[in-house]
């Protein structure tokens, strides 16, 4: 395709009539899109990313912001809710998961890595660096397992920046009722948050009547409450 692209570019000249020139330009644009999509990028956890030029397929990340890679998959993940070949996301090969700051909450999204490019921190603008610093801290907090796995009976609360659900409230003390291997629900589509979120704990939350309601969560978003605060 590279040779074909160069050939198409070489065809453009001032002697062409307008109709032929527009046809060749469209051919060049298509060949460039093919080259852009098929230029391989090696991703690592912690990389700052955004869409390649002309490869935007989601509303996030926005053009002027970056996301941070939180997971790289050895095999593509596919959204089982997309069952029609008439949808552009049908059998879309989702190869990386990225974190973004959405309304002050760290949220994760599955992306087609072929559409994404890596940015070096030094190349980011001042505002992008500010966002990147927050993302780096939040991603590290999400992936931090230094406190060990949560266990049944642990008193827990949201980690800072990780409250992705209506309840519990920030700093509200809850109790781990049960732990289990991650249950990755496909109920939510890959274009939104919550797709294949690794829910691996059931947490009991006291309601206004002091009855305990139990919900499934991703344990990475919770931390143990220090004994001195219980």
Q: What is the pLDDT along the chain (230 residues), one digit of tens a residue?
A: 566 656 656 666 667 777 777 887 787 788 889 899 999 999 999 999 999 999 999 999 999 999 999 999 999 999 999 999 999 899 999 999 999 999 999 999 999 999 999 999 999 999 999 999 999 999 999 999 888 899 999 999 999 999 999 999 999 999 999 999 999 887 778 888 889 999 999 999 998 888 999 999 999 999 999 999 88
Please report, for residues 4, 28, 105, 117, the alpha-carbon distance to residue 158 in angstroms, rounded to integers and kept in the order given.
54, 50, 11, 31
Q: Residue 22 has what pLDDT?
A: 80
Q: In percent, how much of the chain has pLDDT > 90? A: 72
Rounded CA-CA distance 175/200 in Å is 14
Asked if 164 contacts 217 with a C-beta cutoff of 8 angstroms, the reply is no
Q: Is 157 exposed, middle or buried (0-12, 13-18, 19+ CB in 10 A)?
A: buried
Residues with Cβ within 8 Å of residue 226, at least 6 apart in sequence: none
DSSP for residue 180: E
With tokens 């927050």, the residue in question is 134
Query: 196's torsion region: left (phi>0), alpha (psi -120 to 50) or beta?
Result: left
Asked if 97 contacts 71 with a C-beta cutoff of 8 angstroms, the reply is yes
Please report, for residues 109, 147, 199, the alpha-carbon distance to residue 224 in angstroms, rounded to integers and kept in the order given.
26, 8, 17
Packing angle between helix 18-38 and helix 2-11, nearest 10 degrees? 160
Q: Strands of the chain (E only): list them.
A: 48-51, 67-77, 94-102, 105-111, 116-119, 155-158, 174-184, 198-206, 212-217, 222-224
Asked if 42 contacts 19 with a C-beta cutoff of 8 angstroms, the reply is no
**pLDDT tens column, 111-133:** 999 999 999 999 999 999 999 99
Q: Residue 30 has what pLDDT?
A: 84
Nearest to 195 by CA among 71, 88, 86, 74: 71
pTM as predicted: 0.88
């Amino acid at each position: 395709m590279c040779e074909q692209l160069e050939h198409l570019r070489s065809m453009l000249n001032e002697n062409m009539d307008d109709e032929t020139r527009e046809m060749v330009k469209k051919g060049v644009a298509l060949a460039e899109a093919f080259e852009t999509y098929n230029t391989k990028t090696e991703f690592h956890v912690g990389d700052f990313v955004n869409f390649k030029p002309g490869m935007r397929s989601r509303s996030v990340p926005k053009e002027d912001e970056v996301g941070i890679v939180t997971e790289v998959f050895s095999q593509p993940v596919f959204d089982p809710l997309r069952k029609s070949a008439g949808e552009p996301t049908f059998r879309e090969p989702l190869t990386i998961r990225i974190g973004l700051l959405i309304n002050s909450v760290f949220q994760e999204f599955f992306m087609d890595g072929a559409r994404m490019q890596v940015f070096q921190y030094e190349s980011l603008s001042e505002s992008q660096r500010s966002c990147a610093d927050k993302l780096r801290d939040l991603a590290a907090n999400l992936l931090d397992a230094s406190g060990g796995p949560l266990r049944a009976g642990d008193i827990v609360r949201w980690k800072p920046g990780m409250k992705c659900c209506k309840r519990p409230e920030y700093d509200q003390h809850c109790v781990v009722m049960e732990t289990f291997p991650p249950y990755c629900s496909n109920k939510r589509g890959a274009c939104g948050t919550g797709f294949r979120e690794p829910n691996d704990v059931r947490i009991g939350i006291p309601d206004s009547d002091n009855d305990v309601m139990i919900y499934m969560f991703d344990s990475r978003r919770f931390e143990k409450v220090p004994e001195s605060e219980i």
